[in-house]
Amino acid sequence: MADEPTLPCLPPTSRLAASLSNAGRKRTRGLNPPTYNLSTSSDPAVFSSDDDPALDNYIHGRRKKRYVGTWYDQHPASSDSADSAMGDDMRPPPLKPRQQRQFKRRFDSGVWMAQTDVSTDADESMDLDPPVSRLPLPVSPSVSLRPRYSAEEANAQRIIQSCIDGGREEVDLSALQLCSIPNAILELVSLIAPIPTVAKDVAFEQRDPSIKLFLSNNSLRQFPSAIFNVDHLTVLSLRANRLTELPPAIASLKNLETLNIAQNKLRSLPGELLSLMKAGSKLTDIQLHPNPFYQPNVPNCSSSGADEYEQGTFGPKDDDGMCESWYGFTTSLLARTPVQFSNRSTVVSRFEFPTVSSLPTHLRKLELEELWSLEIPKAIGGQLGPHLDDVRESMPKGAPSLFELALRAAVGHPDRESAKCVLSEQCVSNHFAAAFDRAAHISDVGGQTCCVCGRDTIMPVTEWIEFRELQRTQVIVAGSGESLVENWYSVRVSNNGDEHCVPFVRRGCSWNCIPFKASEPSEPSKDLELSEL
């Protein structure tokens, strides 16, 4: 049916501008006031037989439709048939209200449902004609999208499809010259289900899949965020691509056993990755080098106060009590950089991370700050909270800022591009636009949480890097009950100069979410962490 409401096409910019900056929140139904049928100006008579469905026929606008034709090809009888008895000339053209409705309502906003003045609208929708079989079959999205895929992408899709069909858990998309891979294609990977082995006398068992995804030797510039939706990913190789960052959401890949991100353009790793590199996690194999990682500008850094810094900043460690033996990666802190404070889009601190996209080696060296000192820009020093010296709870408290809330709503706008246009037109400074771009990027790659308070943020304003040393660690639990003994053995992964220090980025959501200042050591202290192991 032509007037069947469909999801609206994206509104043109000008309309959107009006709706975004309008003075009236309520969506009116158009300029024309509702048309009344003068011949029925008084209320319809109320009879005791009110529940008689036939009564509907007396109320204008709510009459029943009649249909003609066979059951598979029926269509409404002429729209005039039901009420031709009423004054034809007094009646508005029957299609008019529907046309208004068609472009006044936004089916994707959901907001209209709460508005009182639309409720009549919603009522009328009950009278909409039911979909009729004459309607052409809806075009399925996959069909209409297919032509937009490049040859390489179509190739990838074919490979994934054959893995689904064959129940194969190894998806090899390596060396396909992919510059990007649409989420719609990559999401198919989560459909892969292994074919259970059926053997005699063995109970049928559906096991969880263990998906291995190889995307190595392509030209990916951005981490494909659809990967985060693949629950049972155990092997992920992105070796030899052009990634410049790894999104924080990588921490959600809890089943990951092997990760290969060598030969990319990574300058640092997200601090969130550390949650996969601690006792109890499944990651047992990781390939990080070579990558143009940031390096400390001094060869030997002291890490005294590391425990104090970590507990103070990120809260007390979760209980490390292991009940079973474990093998995997751990890290220990070597040093950290000063904190870069920014103000939505501009940096306000002296210390600033380089912004050039490709850095010569000598510029990749970052200065360090002792864990017992903390440089805070003078301009903002007075505004920081009083509790900076207390051990913080790692629990977000209090409400997010209005700016952040509004930015989140703007980034989530169904027509984000137009929203951005309006934003850059309205504001003289490109301040907002820059913040908007950054927020949009963060939300696209799966979000960011504040490393200190744990709150979701799309506008981190503090940032620093921890240099850490990777260790292969084995925990052997012996004995039982009271006499349970845990033995920890750690070996450095690499002693080789450049590969020794691995940079992990930490980001905070407010100027208060910054590193904890360890107490100044009175005597030169030895590396606590390592001597314990």
Partner 1 sequence: MATKSDGPSNSKYITMVSSDGFEFVVIREASLISPTIKAMLRNNFSEAKTGRCVFPDISGLVLEKVVEYLYYYHKNVNVPYVPDMEIPVELCLVLLEAADYFQLDSVTVGTAFRSMGDTLKF
* 188 contacts Zn ion (rule: CB under 5 A): no
| Residue 466 CB, nearest approach to partner 1 (Å) | 22
Nearest CB to Zn ion, comparing residues 440 and 453: 453
What does 109 bind: Zn ion, partner 1, none (CB cut-off 5 to 8 Å by kind)?
partner 1
Measured distance CA(338)–CA(346) in Å, rounded:
17
What does 459 bind: partner 1, Zn ion, none (CB cut-off 5 to 8 Å by kind)?
partner 1
What does 386 bind: partner 1, Zn ion, none (CB cut-off 5 to 8 Å by kind)?
partner 1
* 451 contacts Zn ion (rule: CB under 5 A): no
In the shown chain, the binding pattern of residues 509 to 528 toward Zn ion, with x for contact by CB under 5 A and - for none, equals x---x---------------
Nearest-CB residue for Zn ion: 450
N- to C-terminal Cα distance for the chain?
Answer: 73
What does 240 bind: Zn ion, partner 1, none (CB cut-off 5 to 8 Å by kind)?
none
Residue spans of alpha helices (H) in 41-117:
96-104
| Residue 449 CB, nearest approach to Zn ion (Å) | 8
Q: Look up residue 349 and give its two tokens.
A: 């601190």
- Residue 329 CB contacts under 8 Å (≥ 6 apart), including other chains: 276, 277, 278, 281, 283, 284, 286, 470, 471, 472, 473, 493
| Residue 501 CB, nearest approach to partner 1 (Å) | 30
| Residue 385 CB, nearest approach to Zn ion (Å) | 11
Show the CA angle centred on residue 269, arms to residues 268 and 272, nearest 5°. Answer: 145
* 334 contacts Zn ion (rule: CB under 5 A): no
**What Cα–Cα distance (Å) separates residue 228 from each residue in 81, 238, 246?**
56, 14, 12
Nearest CB to partner 1, comparing residues 111 and 191: 111
What does 233 bind: partner 1, Zn ion, none (CB cut-off 5 to 8 Å by kind)?
none
* 453 contacts Zn ion (rule: CB under 5 A): yes
DSSP 26: S
| Closest by CA position to 101, among listed 120, 73, 74 | 120
Residue spans of alpha helices (H) in 12-150:
13-21, 96-104, 119-125, 141-145
- Per the document, the length of the chain is 533
| Closest by CA position to 172, among listed 207, 212, 112, 120 | 212
Piece in contact with Zn ion (CB under 5 A), picked from 333-341, 403-411, 424-432, 505-513 = 505-513
What does 118 bind: partner 1, Zn ion, none (CB cut-off 5 to 8 Å by kind)?
none
Contact residues toward partner 1 (CB under 8 A) are 19-25, 109, 111, 343-344, 380, 383-386, 395-410, 412-414, 419, 422-423, 426-427, 432, 457, 459, 461, 509-513
The CB density around residue 199, as the number of other CB atoms within 10 Å, is: 8
DSSP 498: H
| Residue 374 CB, nearest approach to partner 1 (Å) | 16
Q: Which residue has the tokens 């920890």?
A: 488
Q: Which residue has the tokens 């030969």?
A: 263
Nearest CB to partner 1, comparing residues 3 and 108: 108
Measured distance CA(524)–CA(520) in Å, rounded:
10
Nearest CB to Zn ion, comparing residues 237 and 510: 510
* 459 contacts Zn ion (rule: CB under 5 A): no
Residue spans of alpha helices (H) in 79-167:
96-104, 119-125, 141-145, 151-166
Nearest CB to partner 1, comparing residues 415 and 527: 415
Task: Return the SS3 of 325.
Answer: coil
Residues 131/151, Cβ–Cβ less than 8 Å: no
What does 97 bind: partner 1, Zn ion, none (CB cut-off 5 to 8 Å by kind)?
none
Piece in contact with Zn ion (CB under 5 A), picked from 132-140, 284-292, 397-405, 451-459 = 451-459
| Residue 410 CB, nearest approach to partner 1 (Å) | 4
Q: What is the CA radius of gyration of the chain?
A: 31
* 475 contacts Zn ion (rule: CB under 5 A): no
| Residue 450 CB, nearest approach to Zn ion (Å) | 3
Nearest CB to partner 1, comparing residues 503 and 508: 508
The CB density around residue 191, as the number of other CB atoms within 10 Å, is: 12
* 440 contacts Zn ion (rule: CB under 5 A): no
User: Roughly what angle, to the nearest 10 degrees, separates helices 416-426 and 402-411?
Assistant: 130
Judged by the rule CB under 5 A, the positions of this chain that interact with Zn ion are: 450, 452-453, 508-509, 513
